[in-house]
Structure 1
């Protein structure tokens, strides 16, 4: 396995920048009266006063608890030459002697500023934007890895991080913390990819990013909608608001065309509501779409299926999903259609996708026998149901043991729903801690457990400590059983009380299964 490259900055190396006067004109803002040299160059953009570099435009935005302008002294000390802010922040900037462009909505204009300063890089790359409650990481990773397998320089931005391979075959990583980075980071990343001759970039576009203007000034060549189910109701007031946020991606401001899964009612609504041309796909019986997956059959740990056109048109192709389950059939079909939309198609693409379409932390097997161990990011009721249903259907499966929980400081209404799903579909449920963040872990576990009916047929345990829960699952497992550790996927840390501790479900599960007594061990049959 090749070494993971050291993280690089979310900025291009070469930055010509733009003059203050030209930037003010692009934003429709009055030039700062305190700045006499309108030809002064702005060469970078950031929101974080701690990340300011000499020559930067610093965007001082209003926040929920404080105003960015409260940190103007730090921005000035680090070399900011200009601020972008609102009336509330302008006074603090003036006191600190930092010229400012004052606009009504600085968060929205931040994206425009970043695009202008970095030379509008999104216009020079082939871009794919993927949204949906589940499947964003899977689809973007499948597209990215398939392009790499074909020898094409490609980049990916999303939950699992930001990475790209340049035209020389060198791999790069950029540290990002959000599914969709803030606009200055996003445009800086795209500019860095562009200067390294990357051809295409696949991006996860979250509903938060669409509402908060993080993805503004990126018009994707093609956008994809995977599905919608309950999540993020701590941010969106209702499911209708959540849907409306996702639908923004399918407007001319954000994409040129769309690929939409119509397996659920939300997708069917979106296909009619989209303001750009849309191609539809489906995997469920009785659903009409432009492309439909049929004859889905198991193939080792994956599936093979046939893609047919509308109204029973002749088979177009036989494809392979590298991971099990109908939802990965859907993800594979989405990836094929997205690649076609950017001009990448042919038998070699189908073959590459069938082997390259695996995703770290998504139905990832860490052991296959005598006990199958699987780690999956499923952190919503719908995703957990799909994961458990899929694993139960894998030939030779005896029992399914599910280690699960729910994240703190996030949508609380889904917690009992996830408990209900786990108890309905797993034989053994071990409720434990996910990322409790600032909440009491015991209270989160209790909320999850409250959704499990008293008359459940499942064996239910509650375990304080995720490592202990995984060890319990391994000790309870017998030959032919499958353990699913859900919720965190490929994450390598666990947030407890605001401190991120090293923790990787894959390593913990692998170690726990390796330590499990073998058939010849006296402990295996209770000792002597």
Structure 2
């Protein structure tokens, strides 16, 4: 896991006076402390503070950031921004200016952008939000923009790229101070375009303040993160905030679901709509979808007559939607369709490899690792693999502990509906009892007495399921820990079977009761494949 020290920041900065900052944002400098100093960067984590930083001491759930200000100053911070409570904690003994704001988190992004010279203004910026598909869409965006000859930057769940520099990501969207430092570093790396995932948490927590995206994109909205947002309406409203003048100049909204239609109506900026559904009206329409290698070819047409044909190497109709969204965003950003067509042809379509997103590790049996971690994503992944599976389709998955428990039985039901063999296991239990989480997932399968999946364990639990091809008997197993479930599923598969390992994708750390354990589904799957070969 990336540590806080892995933060990318600019090598060269311009000094800004604290007194000028206070005037620019209408803030006061606490009396009794030094009145002025120069700052060159911003940090909200004392562990990454460096000489010349403005340390922003935020109130937290367990402690106030002001309690760590002395450490930040010891590391070289030359000023502190905090709230009234933080100023009280710092009233005695502060050796640097203390600037006071009513809500420092709400202005952190804008302050960091000001200190660093508004680095986003020099970039062509694309921000993608939605429940599923953000990562894939941003990778496809970056792939296309690089094919057009731009030096690209990428920020998202899997990794952060600044030109050729790459580090692992710890958050889908970085904290505001880290994000602005990263953008300033991208400016030094001569990055011209930015493809970025924008999570609902980031919007709610002001992490993307200080950026006005050139083009914002919306994929879809399904049940997830309701433990944070409370209900769908709040979740939707947070996502909709990206489609306001303070956040973006224009947008592209996928309207394949009712939430997309609502997003297009609620947007306060000009938006183009996109659909992959036959007969549905939109500004951009996907037609003539056909198999193409491991993925699909498709035609994208605008209502003004502009059209192109390209392909994506990723399987499934939802990946056609992701790819089409990426292309439409680039076109809405001002690129000429002839240039885009030529770039896609030279790049063999949208062929970016997305770590942990429908990543194929073997073909006999086919083993696929995917990040599908909620009900609809699981449904879509299974539906994408079903048409090309000549044998049985198996799925290994679990649900996250301490997160949105309401979706657990629905995930169990989705697995039974889409697969022939179901292995319910653990995802990230966090501080919740893993067995309890599995039981709640199993409740949705309709099986109360699942098999263990172990050799010689006897008859597995079974349930009858039906789809367009008719009814079938589905095996249901409960196997933990997760590494055992992956191994069991792969060793039991026939050469014509497909095993989908769903839920964690690229992740390499599993948290159990506050302890981080190394666990990479791809590593475990390859080990099981090697044992199978032996």
Give me the TM-score of the superposition, normalised by structure 1: 0.92
Task: Please state how far the C-alpha of 1:515 moved relative to its aligned partner.
Answer: 2.0
CA contact (8 A) 2:148 2:340 kept: no
1:43 paired residue number: 40
Distance 1:300 1:235 in 2: 40
Does the Cα contact within 8 Å between 1:43 and 1:57 map onto a contact in 2?
Answer: yes
Which of 178, 200, 208 is equivalent to 1:215?
A: 208
Aligned residue runs from structure 1 range 379-528, under 5 A? 379-394=373-388, 396-454=389-447, 455-456=463-464, 457-516=473-532
Question: SS in structure 1 opposite 2:208?
Answer: coil
Q: Deviations over 1:207-230 (max 9, x none)?
A: 111111011110000000000000
Instruction: Spell out the pairing of 1:28-107 with structure 2 (5 A cutoff).
Output: 28-38=26-36, 40-97=37-94, 98-107=96-105
Listed as ranges, the matches of 1:289-438 within 5 Å are 289-310=282-303, 316-344=307-335, 345-351=339-345, 352=347, 354-368=349-363, 370-394=364-388, 396-438=389-431
Indicate conservation of the 8 Å contact 2:162/2:185, yes or no.
no
How far apart are residue 476 of structure 1 and its match? 1.4
- Kept in 2, the 8 Å contact 1:56–1:79? The answer is yes
User: How much has 1:426 moved relative to structure 2?
Assistant: 0.4
Map 1:149-228 → 2, pairs under 5 A: 149-165=147-163, 171-228=164-221
Q: Retained in 2: the 8 A contact 1:72–1:96? A: no
Distance verdict in 2 for CA 1:300–1:126, change over 3 Å: same
* Mapping for residues 108-187 of structure 1, pairs under 5 Å: 108-165=106-163, 171-187=164-180
Change beyond 3 A, Cα 1:65–1:8: closer
Q: Per the alignment, in what secondary structure is the counterpart of residue 489 of structure 1?
A: coil
Q: Which runs of 5+ in 2 are unaligned?
A: 448-462, 465-472
Whether the 8 Å CA contact 1:93–1:99 is kept in 2: the answer is no
Relative to structure 1, the CA distance from residue 280 to residue 229 in structure 2 (aligned partners, 3 Å threshold; closer, same or farther) is: same
Alpha-carbon separation, structure 2, partners of 1:149 and 1:466: 39
Structure 2 contact 140–350 (Cα < 8 Å) conserved? no
Within 5 Å, which residues of 2 pair with 1:201-280?
A: 201-280=194-273
Q: Secondary structure at the match of 2:137?
A: helix
For residue 37 of structure 1, report the CA deviation from its aligned partner. Answer: 4.9
Aligned counterparts of 2:314 and 2:198: Cα–Cα separation in 1 = 23
Q: Secondary structure at the match of 1:413?
A: helix
Please give the secondary structure, in 2, of the residue aligned with 1:423. Answer: helix
SS in structure 2 at match of 1:511: helix
Q: Distance in 2 between matches of 1:510 and 1:176?
A: 23
Q: Tell me the SS of whatever aligns to 1:483.
A: strand
Compared with structure 1, are the counterparts of its residues 306 and 126 closer, same or farther at alpha carbon in structure 2 (3 Å cutoff)?
same
> Taking structure 1 as reference, are residues 315 and 70 closer, same or farther at Cα in structure 2, changes over 3 Å only?
closer
**Conserved in 1, the CA contact under 8 Å of 2:424 and 2:441?**
yes
Contact 1:111/1:184 (CA < 8 Å) preserved in 2? yes
Q: Which moved more, 1:111-120 or 1:488-497?
A: 488-497
Aligned to 2:452: none
User: 1:154-202: per-residue Cα shift (whole Å, max 9, x none)?
Assistant: 010010021122xxxxx21245411111100000000000111101011
Separation (CA, whole Å) in 2 of partners of 1:128 and 1:329: 19
CA distance in 1, matches of 2:15, 2:126: 26
- State the distance in 2 between where 1:397 and 1:331 align: 26
Q: Which runs of 5+ in 1 are unaligned?
A: 166-170, 519-528
Q: How many residues align?
A: 503
- Closer, same or farther in 2 for the Cα pair 1:202/1:434, shift >3 Å? same
The separation in 2 between residues aligned to 1:135 and 1:240, in whole angstroms, is: 20
CA distance in 1 between counterparts of 2:156 and 2:369 reads 19
Please state how far the C-alpha of 1:70 moved relative to its aligned partner: 2.1
1:458 counterpart SS class: strand
The verdict on how the C-alpha distance between 1:472 and 1:175 changes in structure 2, with shifts beyond 3 A counting, is closer
8 Å Cα contact 1:373-1:510 kept in structure 2: no
Retained in 2: the 8 A contact 1:408–1:438? yes
Give SS of 1:215's match: coil
